[in-house]
Structure 1
Amino acid sequence: MIDESGFVLRSPSGVLTATLRLTREKRLRYQVKRGDAVVVEDGDIGITADGVDLGDGVAFEDIRQETIYETYKVFGGHSDALNHCNAYRFSLRHAASGEAYELQARAYDDGFAFRYALPREGTTTVQGEASSWTLPAGSRVWLFERNNGWKLKSYAGEWISADAEELHTVSGQGPVQGTPLVAELPDGRGYAAIAEAALYNYSGMRLEAIGRRAVRANFTEGDAGFAVEGAVLTPWRVAMAAPDLDGLVNSDLITNLNPAPSAALFSDTSYIRPGRSAWRWWSLGTGTPEQERETVDRAAALGFEYTTVDEGWEAWPEPWADLRRLTDYAKGKHVGVFVWKRSKEIDDPREGWRTMREFFDKAKDAGAVGLKIDFIDNESKAAIDFEIAALRLAAERRLMINFHGISKPTGESRTYPNEISREGIRGLELNKMKEGPIPAWHNAALPFTRFVAGHGDYTPVGFSNPGETTYAHQLATMVAFTSPLQVVAENPAFLLEEAAARPALDVLKSIPSVWDETRALPPSAIGELAVLARRSGEAWFLGVLNGKAERTTVRLPLSFLDDGAAYDAVEIVDRGPGSMARKEGMRVASRDAVDIVLEPNGGYVAVLRKA
């Protein structure tokens, strides 16, 4: 029974608890703790539909509980995910209207999530939610900032931090922030992240800071709300919790909260293949058909699985015929071709998305393996409907999708594994813009902030335009940042032919786009230092990013290596501006530690293979 004393929800191990209670005014509130550490000090629960606040005057009627335990494959920092939680369904009734609905909740060892289920028919207008989170006093919160109107369109802001008390005043763009928000809890008690998961048939949630360390659900459509047809099942409102950065980086909570893929739609997933892509646009712009053929040659020479043909190909003399000739040529080199498309040109839901279907059919017939869909630039319900339609229609045609100009991921790549990546991140293209270049501290924050929500197409490795970062820093981003489709920014000709890239060429060629295991290692600190060890097969890759403009020495224990095995190391280090050095001959074991000297804004990469 839920009353003023509260009902306690427990995770499988009992390490995380959430207390759900009814106030004297019959409103639902909750608190979340991990061990003794408060994760969410206080939060409201409620949804407003057709002008009725269903969280105001709530009566509890019934509760059902079950345990979920399942494993599944993922593409990212590790290959196997575990979905293990205690799941609860609370039957509620709104006293004034008599409407019955459910509050669904899940308690995981690494977080707590809830959502609303309204068994309605017809059209419902959702005007907002009371869903809120109050962070503990003394929390340091990481958020992305872009001081212009693009902030909440593209989610391409620099990651900065502020005291939780400052959240409602810190941004020149107002108190609304995108998700995730990541909090360093006080007194070394771990980390928390506020996010959403399973965003379907709904508007994307932002967070409005309302003072006193609290944030509340906020939507693009504002007070006018948005229409939902049929039953209303909201996305999950998520509070992640981890004792350390390794726990935060390795959490599967966001994908766990998404449905498994449709067995019918994804009966064949052989076309969904992670890999690396060459990309001419960042360095030279989209080329002619002949120049893009040269890019295919270089992708093959690098061992990359793909090439991405960006904006401008549709202005070729015979765009579809030229594309067909390019994909035929690329197939002979074992290279797949992604092609770019502006979203507004196919964003028309009439006749079952006929315009989109026709474009996808042409792209498939022309031999493309995937599409880069760009400039969605909002997360209204209409935009979310467009994204899900694109994923579904692409899956029907066995095409992969890379979304750009888009909001954060919410784990939809579990339900639609043909979403091979998405942007929603301040990536390397900013080095080409007046707003750039990207600072090293932003890169050192990303593995523990934006990438907590899911994959991100940052487009790493920009030797020819690295901003204030070093070459080794640029190389390390390819290890530190996770994207099943890793689109490498640098001109492939530079990678293959420039002397400055030569010391790292074979290392770069060997870095995969997905991993079997990941460790976020001490002394990692958000925005200061990112130390990631990632395993592919029996080889370990170390990627280290220095976010500070000062030389830093790091002593790194290698206890993650297999006991009793010896490993030979190849190291890539900075050797001054625009230069890298290669070190070989070091043999190490799990009992050893390596001392790494990082240049200001520098980096380090090592490959450790069993001797």
Structure 2
Amino acid sequence: SGAFTTPWRTIRIADSAGGLYDNDLELNLNEPNRLGDTSWFTPHKYVGVWWEMHLETKSWASGPKHGATNDNVRRHIDFAARHGFRGVLVEGWNKGWDGNWFGNGRDFDFIESTPDFDLPDLAAYARQHAVRLIGHHETGGNIAKYESQLGAALDLYARHGVDAVKTGYVADAGGIIAPGDKPGEQRMEWHDGQRMAQHHLRVVQEAAARRIAVNPHEPIKDTGLRRTYPNWVSREGARGGEYQAWGTPGNGPKHAPTLVFTRMLAGPMDYTPGILSLKGRGGRDLESTLARELALYVVLYSPIQMVADLIENLEAHPRELAFIEKVPTDWEQSRTLLGEVGQLAVIARKDRNGPDWYIGGVTDETAREAAIDLSFLPRGSRWRAYVWRDGDNADYRTEARHQIVIEQKAVAAGDTLNIRMAPGGGFAIRLERLDR
């Protein structure tokens, strides 16, 4: 008798694909924020010692190719400071990466770093440059080992001002090594089972107690609990940018406009965009265009966004890097202007901290003309549109994938912008208000 609580289930029904995305149903079914003031977390962009490992020019393991060295991390901190990026992710900083760690993780140590990585010194160097290190805890699916060190590992980060951590659970399905019921006992669990739901929540709660944000890879599905625990800022949970380096196949043109209306309905995704070189491992060509890489920063939402390419590749594209420097990660409102599942997605988002709007568009392997209705802008307002679009001959299947046109034009509320998207391409637009 009396009131009781049951689990909820939802079905989204809309007249259009865009109507599915422009909806916070599951988020709002969760309990309000339990953490109180979370102003300590700042939405931001970050670079990292990461893509070079996927290219196999550096390694997670120790040795002559080790990526997480003091010199290499300082180089990334300096780059982040020059370009206004708050974070530097460092993978491979701790012991346990040598040998077979996949689905194993027994050798990982979340407190002891490799001899060529000085956490206190690098964290202090980063803060001196208005940059923060982003921590990394790869478990290899061994949550028994991770949970035994969780509190101490997060304390270590907190002491050195590391206020965000990327976690990882790389293992085959059913390959999670969890503590058993008796001391010293272990058992195998599923990635998406109840034991892992409990584990992820524990990590988020322990991190919140130390004012640390969490971005899990190989996560459980987002069900909107980030409303209750706002430090659960993003997660992976689908094929991200790393598959462009080595995946067979890679992330084809249909992938992004499919993600918007499937995976992204659950919540933010740390896709790791920004491969401006359009090159993966061994020089393989990405199935993308230069303009499309910029579009992903608007189309695929995350309050933390990686600038994923190598430093030298990013610096070789100063005009495109200028867009990435400017694009926000925190939005006041979002609207899907055009969309069909697996075909195209055009999304407009307003900067939470200013008057500017941004529009991003991606298409599948079909070239398309996007007619962008600007009637969502305040009536009577005037704007300057800065446009990064595919070149006239651009095509994800040819070297013309690198062609990009950067232009600007005056527009007003109610105008229509016509932008061509090349096969596998896209565009990005910044709308700067002129009549403030």
TM-score w.r.t. the length of structure 1 is 0.58
Deviation at 1:271, TM superposition (A): 2.0
- Letter of the aligned partner of 2:151 in structure 1? R
- Letter of the aligned partner of 1:405 in structure 2? E
Greater gyration radius: 1
Q: 1:436 to 1:366 in 2, by over 3 A?
A: farther
Deviation at 1:437, TM superposition (A): 1.3
Matches within 5 A, 1:529-608: 529-536=344-351, 537-547=354-364, 549-575=365-391, 576=394, 577-608=400-431
- Secondary structure, aligned partner of 2:340: coil
The corresponding residue for 2:311 is: 492
Residue from 227, 241, 244 that aligns with 1:428 = 241
Q: Are 1:343 and 2:139 an aligned pair? A: yes
- Distance in 1, matches of 2:367 and 2:140, equals 47
Deviation at 1:312, TM superposition (A): 4.2
- Secondary structure, aligned partner of 2:288: coil
Deviation at 1:584, TM superposition (A): 3.2
- Letter of the aligned partner of 2:80 in structure 1? A
Backbone CA RMSD of aligned residues: 2.3
Q: Does the Cα contact within 8 Å between 2:363 and 2:421 map onto a contact in 1?
A: yes
* Higher-strand-fraction structure: 1
Matches within 5 A, 1:127-276: 235-262=7-34, 266-276=35-45
Aligned length: 372
- Letter of the aligned partner of 1:526 in structure 2? V
- Distance in 2, matches of 1:609 and 1:364, equals 38
- Letter of the aligned partner of 1:256 in structure 2? N
Q: Does the Cα contact within 8 Å between 2:93 and 2:114 map onto a contact in 1?
A: no
The corresponding residue for 1:288 is: 69
- Secondary structure, aligned partner of 2:376: coil
Q: Does the Cα contact within 8 Å between 1:288 and 1:313 map onto a contact in 2?
A: no
Q: Are 1:411 and 2:224 an aligned pair? A: yes
Q: 1:461 to 1:481 in 2, by over 3 A?
A: same
Q: Which runs of 5+ in 2 are unaligned?
A: 59-66, 98-112, 172-190, 280-284, 395-399
- Letter of the aligned partner of 1:432 in structure 2? A
Q: Does the Cα contact within 8 Å between 1:557 and 1:594 map onto a contact in 2?
A: yes
- Distance in 1, matches of 2:84 and 2:276, equals 19
Deviation at 1:447, TM superposition (A): 1.4
Deviation at 1:453, TM superposition (A): 0.6
- Letter of the aligned partner of 1:331 in structure 2? R
- Distance in 1, matches of 2:74 and 2:253, equals 34
The corresponding residue for 1:306 is: 87
Deviation at 1:488, TM superposition (A): 2.2
Deviation at 1:563, TM superposition (A): 1.2
CA offset digits 1:302-340 (Å, max 9, x no partner): 211111111344475437x70111111110111111111
- Distance in 2, matches of 1:551 and 1:267, equals 47
- Secondary structure, aligned partner of 1:242: coil
Deviation at 1:583, TM superposition (A): 3.4
Q: Does the Cα contact within 8 Å between 1:279 and 1:492 map onto a contact in 2?
A: no
- Letter of the aligned partner of 1:280 in structure 2? V
The corresponding residue for 1:375 is: 169
The corresponding residue for 1:448 is: 261
Q: Are 1:356 and 2:150 an aligned pair? A: yes
- Letter of the aligned partner of 2:48 in structure 1? W
Q: Which has the higher contact order (CA 8 A, sep 6+)?
A: 2
- Distance in 2, matches of 1:256 and 1:469, equals 35
- Distance in 2, matches of 1:461 and 1:418, equals 24
Q: Which runs of 5+ in 1 are unaligned?
A: 1-60, 63-88, 90-101, 105-115, 117-234
Residue from 126, 132, 137 that aligns with 1:330 = 126
- Distance in 2, matches of 1:325 and 1:583, equals 41
CA offset digits 1:517-570 (Å, max 9, x no partner): 111013x211111111111131111101011x2322222221111211111111
- Distance in 2, matches of 1:514 and 1:587, equals 25
- Secondary structure, aligned partner of 2:125: helix
